[in-house]
Structure 1
C-alpha cells in the first residue's frame, strides 16, 4: 500500500478520535445493545437495531482510522529549516495579483483539509500550483473558475 502524507497535528487528531471511539463510544454502544436485548424480542426491537447500526458505524470508523494511521507518512515541518520553499505542511500566504486580496492556506493531507479553516488538501489545484515554489514567486494557478495569478508573500513552517 502507498503512504499518505499527514501532518503531525492531523495524526494526533486521528489518534485522539481513535482513543475516544475505543474507550468511550464502543463501551457505551455495547451497554446499549445489552440493555436493548433485555427488552425481549429482537426482531421488532428498534432500540437493539439502532444500537447495532451504531456499533457497525463505530467499528467501521475504527478500522478506517487504524488503516490511515498505519499508512501515514507523518511530516512535521516545524522540525525543518525554513528555506522559503512551499512544501507539504507549510502555511503559505498568497496575494491575488488582480484583486490585491491576501489569503493564507496550510497545505495538509486529504483527511485534514477544511477550507473553512484555510487548510487545503495537497491534491487541490491551489496546493498543486504552490508546491515546489518559493517566497516571492509569481504563480499562475489553474482553478475550475480559470487561471489566477498570485504572488507568494510568506511561507511559514509552523
Structure 2
C-alpha cells in the first residue's frame, strides 16, 4: 500500500540510505577488520560493538529501502484548495482555551511536533482531513475531547 510523502521527506529518506551505504557501512567494515586484528574475538568488546552496529545499519537500510519502495510522492507545490488535504497547513483555534495552533499534514515518516508537522494518520490529522474553513472538529484524547475550529488552510513550501 503506497505511503504518502512530500518530495522533501522522500529526499531525506534517500539521503539517509545513501549515507548509510557510502559512509556508515564502509566505516563499520573497517571497525570490524580492526577489531579482528586485535586477536581473540571471544572477549573483544570492540568487535562485539562493531558487529552490533553492523546489524543496526543493515536493519535500518532494509527499513529505508522498504519505505522508499512504498512511498508515493505527493507534489504540494503551487497547490490551492479550501479543503484540508495532505501537505496543507491548517490553522485552528482550540475552542476551550481559544489558543491558536498550526499543523502541517504530512506522512508518518515526516511528522515532527517541533515543526508542527503531524501525520495524516494521527488523531488530529485524521480529524482535519477533508474539512473546510469554518468547520469544527473533535479529537478524542485520553484526557478529554478537544474541539477545534478550522480558521485557515494554506500551502507552504515543505
TM bucket, shorter chain: over 0.9
Shifted more, 23-32 versus 113-122: the winner is 113-122
1:28-47 paired onto structure 2 within 5 Å: 28-47=27-46
Q: Encode CA deviations 1:74-114: one digit per residue, 9 max, x unaligned.
A: 1121243x122101121111011221100011111122212
Partners of 1:129 and 1:142 within 8 A in 2: no
Runs of 4+ in 1 over 4 A off after TM superposition: none
Superposed CA RMSD in Å reads 1.3
Question: Normalising by the residue count of structure 2, what TM-score does the alignment of the two structures yield?
Answer: 0.92
In 2, distance between residues paired with 1:50 and 1:37?
Answer: 12
2: CA distance, partners of 1:143 / 1:156: 26
- The CA distance in 2 between the partners of 1:79 and 1:38, in whole Å, is 57
**Structure 2 counterpart of 1:130:** 128
Q: Does 1:87 align with 2:81?
A: no
Q: CA deviation at 1:145?
A: 2.5
Tell me what 1:58 maps to: 57
List aligned pairs for 1:1-158, cutoff 5 A: 2-80=1-79, 82-158=80-156
Structure 2 Cα separation of the partners of residues 151 and 141 of structure 1: 11
Structure 2: state its 5+ residue gaps: none
Give the whole-Å Cα distance in 1 for the aligned partners of 2:103 and 2:40. Answer: 55
User: Tell me, which stretches of 5 or more residues in structure 1 are unaligned?
Assistant: none
Post-superposition CA distance 1:40-92 (Å, at most 9, x none):
11122111111011011001101100100000111121243x12210112111
